[in-house]
Structure 1
Amino acid sequence: MQLTGRAESSVRPAVPADAADIARVQGIAWRTAYRSLLPPSVLDDWDDAAVADGWASSLATPPTPAHGVLVALEGPTAVGFLAHGPAEVTAQDPASPDGPTAEVTALLVEPRWGRRGHGSRLVAAAVDLLGATGVRRLQMWVPREDPVTSGFLESAGWAPDGWSRTLDAGTTTIHEHRWHVLLGDDEGPG
């Protein structure tokens, strides 16, 4: 008799040994979701080993103590990740009046593992982790051409905050909108 059941899903802080899995998830997710958005050379010249080396270095020696990466697991398999760090503050974009702010710099789930709660678990873990450090607001830049991520964030209680930016990606221009959520807000996660 064969037993069936759902594999255990979890989220934990990433370690340098996760770098190859993070690079794999990033490469697959970018090729699937951003093929029409990124310059072809970015995806055609993708080097899993080089990307994994970059992640290993970042995980071993984060740029600041406020930087981190969480990895989503389905059983023992890494299926997604969330990277975070301090929000950039500039003269044009001053510190939030809502309090200390962290930025989600990447939130990716390998498409074949989508719609199984991994993105929600990653965001919930980030809210718990960062909220405990005094962060009161999370924000994330999302390409205008990425309705999947925008829809996911909206369903999780996030909203656009009115800020937009344009990134020059060589042969293309990427237009992004910033989304945010207040931690501890009765209407949002926390």
Structure 2
Amino acid sequence: MPMFQPTTSTTSWPFTLRQAISADAPLIAAMHAQSWASAYRGILPDDFLDREMSAEREAHWNKRFEELAAGAGEVLIAIQDDRPIGFVCLAAPDDNGSVLVDNLHALPGAKGTGLGTAMLTIAAQWARDRGAASMHLFVLEPNVAAIGFYESRGWRLAGRENDTMGGIDIIALRYVLPIG
């Protein structure tokens, strides 16, 4: 499988990144579910997190990989000691020249290790390589830890959107980061 090689980094990270392929959909879905179960406990309903989320994430990623194969973007999996520890999903630049960081997840055991920051650095390189001038992402309003993480790395609140997740109405905050 192709390995993603950062070209602008002077930092040596204790993990490698590889491009995900459609056969990785179950792995990505499992990591996504594990991350949500940890990060969204108390934000989304327990019943959804405990019973419905795994199947919902698997269906989501099977469909998402079809879109990615058609050129909608790319998923990079972080590997450390031959095991996956996180992933980032990036959408091709939109009409405004912004790349959506569709998902950024470090497994609970990898949080606090610098993995998220490193994946954001690589995401910015990926976006610049595709001519993007900015990146954007969405954070659930009650996810104070994620908001702090992004704001401490220069991301700025740019809007609020109504959404539904796990059968409840929520507010998703749109954050942006200029990279050009």
Secondary structure at the counterpart of residue 175 of structure 1: strand
CA displacement at 1:48 relative to structure 2? 4.4
- The answer to whether residue 119 in structure 2 is matched with residue 104 in structure 1 is no
Partner of 1:27: 33
AA aligned opposite 1:123: L
1:150 maps to amino acid: I
RMSD (Å), alpha carbons? 2.5
Distance 1:147 1:137, change over 3 A: same
Q: Is the contact between residue 71 and residue 122 of structure 1 (CA under 8 Å) also seen in structure 2? A: no
Which range is displaced more, 105-114 or 18-27? 18-27
Decide whether the 8 Å contact of 2:37 with 2:50 is kept in 1: no
What residue in structure 1 maps to residue 175 of structure 2?
179
* Alignment match, 1:76: 82
The CA deviation at 1:63 is 6.2
Q: Once the 2 structures are TM-superposed, how far is the Cα of residue 172 of structure 1 from its aligned partner? A: 2.2
> Could you say which residue in structure 2 is the equivalent of 1:45?
51
The aligned runs of 1:41-190 (5 Å cut-off) are 41-46=47-52, 48=54, 51-52=57-58, 54-56=60-62, 58-59=64-65, 62=68, 64-86=70-92, 96=96, 100-161=97-158, 163-169=159-165, 171-184=167-180
Point out where structure 2 has 5 or more consecutive residues left out of the alignment: 1-12
**Farther off after superposition, 51-60 or 31-40:** 51-60
**Kept after mapping to 2: 8 A contact 1:137/1:181:** yes
Which consecutive residues of structure 1, in runs of 5 or more, have no partner in the other structure? 1-6, 89-94, 185-190
- Tell me if structure 1 keeps the 8 A contact 2:161–2:173: yes
Contact 2:44 2:166 survives alignment (8 Å): no
Q: 1:57 to 1:176 in 2, by over 3 A?
A: closer
Which residue, 13, 18, 23 being the options, matches 1:12?
Answer: 18
Flag the structure with larger Rg: 1
Percent of aligned pairs with the same amino acid: 24
1:94-137 Cα offsets, whole Å, 9 max, x none, are x64xxx11111111111111111111121111111121111111
CA contact (8 A) 1:20 1:48 kept: no
Q: CA deviation at 1:54?
A: 4.8
Q: Is the 8 A contact 2:71 2:92 kept in 1?
A: no
TM-score (norm 2): 0.80
Q: CA separation in 2, counterparts of 1:21 and 1:82?
A: 13
Kindly indicate whether the alpha-carbon contact (under 8 Å) linking 1:15 and 1:60 is maintained by their aligned counterparts in 2: no
Runs of 4+ aligned structure 1 residues displaced above 3 Å come to: 46-54, 56-61
TM-score normalized by structure 1? 0.76
Secondary structure of the structure 2 residue equivalent to 1:26: helix
CA contact (8 A) 2:48 2:166 kept: no
